[in-house]
């Protein structure tokens, strides 16, 4: 495609100087989506090059993921990065599956092993570990954001119950569709029924009940179906969404209200927990009558524009399915989990977690008018999904395996597509991201960063959480971002690295100057590189300083413990040439330097 044609397409989607959009869809997010559209167009243009010459890739296909990913690369003449080395793979898959870097002892064993199929064996070891349970309990905790800081309606009891509910789901690999059904249909006391707290999390304090129904609807479409409907709850799609989402542009408020009507027969009774009503809890139940009424109190109209018409009966927003019985929430769960978009969105969220880019990206911004290659969108729009057939096959497997998250993860991480290096040989083009031609590095999440500092310095410590019978060791075991309440230093570390609060402050994975300064100077990093107690060292540096290991052996262990690899000959020489002060001084300095290297801070 000629450059002038690309520029014309870009102009067709350019944002106006003054963004007239709804403030709940901020200009920054709209710009991100506009940039993503540009990348989609570049990818489409590359695939349609008239002069392309297919290539043959000498890379093994471990499963059907590889067939699709490398098959498209061959067809469109895109060369992939080489496969990872063992060290890079070990660190990547350990962080992705458990949220932690491996111990130096485990790393040494894996790197020394010549056992055939050792990568697949490592994957099974990690999938069976408690670390996997911790990491994916946190993953789904981040998705559903049930925090005890939410108004006064979710207490520590309800939060802990919901956390245990998620952990039980991950540990037993319960069918995901059943878990979602339990969250949507929960009845009873939220301080006794863990999944009911998902509903509590959507309650809108001080606003009419319709705003709670609408908020729950948007949370469901984003978290479970992969697309945002909050805009449509306030206005029709036209005049706000034309430039970023073709499908949502055609949606009307009435369709959204019909979706929200599935919650209209749910009773939400609040009961004081204490004598002064400082905290309330919910009892959930259902009526056999009711619909979505648009009349609200004039003294409490809520933040949305006036509603009109009605009452509205339930109809699902994607396929217009209606209830078969009077229990609207049960019907909602049945229709939602049976909708193919539910499986596809779940698969895509997990794909994006492992590849740092979705088959549909952003994974919470699906445009359902641009995902079917048999029904392509009108020009200048392009298909949003990178590999439609692969997405369908992954969804098929997910459904066939009884909505097993672990089975899906096993398939993903065993693929050679996942095991490509982050180092690309040759000229890299932005559109190659959509081919997954190399692994995209990501900054460690806040919990991963804290736990990596602990493991590398050998300073794991206990953290106490109310309602937990045993102290916790790792940050990815914490039940929500208010913890550990008894240790402000740890909370400061996690917050500085973008943990957010699951309510008002979004989780932010981007690097910042504050993080750099904190990593260089913060006590949670600096003190862990010292001896702490010279008579009985409590850090790796202190123990190594008192050991009989040679200087080169110390350097090798610090590299292995911190970066999950041995030093190169050049790095080993640099360490020799820069020993200053006492043995403890230079060991401490070396570990501090390694903790501030990019290959520690990022997962490659």
Mean pLDDT of the chain: 92
The share of the chain scoring above pLDDT 90, in percent, equals 83
What are residue 358's phi and psi, to 5 degrees?
Answer: -85, 160
Q: Quote the pLDDT of residue 49.
A: 80
8 Å CB contact between 440 and 356:
yes
Bridge partners of 271? 281
- Tell me which residue of 220, 166, 88, 101 sits closest to 458, measured CA to CA: 101
8 Å CB contact between 341 and 220:
no
Q: Quote the pLDDT of residue 4.
A: 37
- Tell me which residue of 44, 20, 53, 80 sits closest to 385, measured CA to CA: 44
Q: Quote the pLDDT of residue 308.
A: 93
| 176-185 and 328-338 helices, crossing angle to 10° | 160
Q: Quote the pLDDT of residue 27.
A: 74
Which residues of the chain carry a pLDDT beneath 50? 1-20
Query: What are the tokens at 119?
Result: 């990568």
Q: Quote the pLDDT of residue 524.
A: 86
The share of the chain scoring above pLDDT 70, in percent, equals 94
pTM, 2 dp = 0.94
Give the C-alpha separation, 61 to 65, whole Å. Answer: 8
């Amino acid at each position: 495609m000629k450059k002038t044609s690309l520029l014309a397409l870009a102009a067709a989607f350019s944002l106006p100087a003054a963004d007239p959009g709804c403030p709940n869809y901020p200009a920054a997010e709209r710009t991100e989506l506009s940039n993503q559209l540009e990348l989609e167009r570049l990818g489409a243009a590359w695939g349609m090059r008239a002069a392309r010459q297919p290539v043959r890739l000498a890379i093994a296909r471990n499963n059907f993921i590889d067939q699709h990913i490398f098959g498209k690369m061959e067809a469109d003449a895109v060369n992939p990065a080489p496969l990872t080395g063992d060290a890079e793979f070990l660190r990547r898959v350990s962080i992705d599956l458990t949220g932690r870097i491996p111990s130096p002892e485990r790393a040494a064993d894996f790197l020394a092993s010549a056992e055939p199929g050792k990568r697949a064996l490592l994957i099974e070891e990690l999938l069976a570990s408690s670390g996997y349970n911790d990491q994916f309990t946190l993953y789904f905790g981040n998705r559903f954001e049930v925090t005890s800081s939410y108004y006064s309606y979710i207490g520590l009891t309800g939060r802990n119950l919901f956390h245990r509910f998620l952990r039980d789901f991950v540990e037993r690999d319960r069918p995901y569709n059943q878990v979602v059904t339990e969250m949507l249909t929960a009845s009873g006391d939220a301080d006794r029924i863990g999944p009911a707290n998902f509903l509590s999390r959507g309650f809108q304090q001080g606003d009419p009940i319709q705003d709670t129904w609408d908020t729950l609807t948007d949370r469901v479409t984003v978290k479970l179906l992969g697309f945002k409907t909050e805009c449509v709850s306030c206005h029709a799609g036209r005049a706000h969404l034309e430039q970023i989402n073709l499908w949502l542009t055609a949606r009307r408020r009435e369709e959204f209200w019909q979706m929200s009507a599935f919650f209209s027969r749910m009773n939400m009774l609040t009961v004081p927990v204490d004598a002064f009503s400082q905290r309330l809890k919910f009892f959930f139940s259902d009526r056999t009558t009711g619909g979505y009424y648009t009349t609200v109190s004039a003294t409490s109209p809520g933040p949305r524009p006036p509603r009109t018409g009605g009452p509205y009966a339930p109809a699902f927003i994607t396929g217009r399915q209606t209830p078969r019985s009077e229990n609207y929430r049960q019907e909602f769960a049945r229709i939602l989990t049976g909708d193919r978009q539910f499986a596809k969105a779940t698969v895509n969220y997990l794909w994006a977690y492992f590849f740092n880019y979705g088959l549909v990206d952003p994974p919470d911004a699906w445009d359902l008018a641009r995902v079917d290659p048999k029904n392509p969108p009108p020009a200048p729009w392009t298909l949003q999904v990178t590999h439609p057939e692969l997405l369908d096959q992954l969804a098929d497997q997910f459904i066939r395996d009884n909505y097993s998250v672990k089975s899906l993860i096993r398939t993903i991480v065993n693929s050679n597509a996942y095991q490509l290096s982050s180092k690309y040989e040759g000229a890299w083009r932005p559109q190659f991201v959509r081919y997954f031609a190399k692994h995209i590095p990501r900054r460690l999440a806040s919990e991963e960063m804290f736990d990596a500092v602990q493991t590398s310095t050998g300073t794991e410590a206990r953290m106490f959480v109310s309602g937990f019978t045993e102290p916790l060791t790792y940050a990815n075991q914490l039940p929500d971002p208010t913890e550990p309440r008894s240790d402000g230093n740890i909370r400061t570390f996690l917050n500085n690295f973008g943990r957010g609060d699951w309510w008002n402050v979004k989780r932010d994975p981007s690097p910042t100057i504050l993080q750099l300064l904190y990593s260089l100077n913060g006590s949670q990093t600096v003190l862990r590189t010292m001896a702490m107690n010279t008579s009985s060292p409590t850090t790796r540096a202190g123990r190594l300083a008192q050991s009989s290991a040679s200087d080169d052996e110390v350097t090798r262990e610090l590299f292995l413990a911190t970066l999950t690899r041995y030093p190169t000959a050049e790095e080993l020489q640099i360490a020799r040439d820069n020993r200053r002060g006492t043995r403890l001084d230079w060991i401490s300095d070396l570990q501090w330097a390694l903790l501030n290297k990019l290959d520690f801070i990022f997962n490659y």
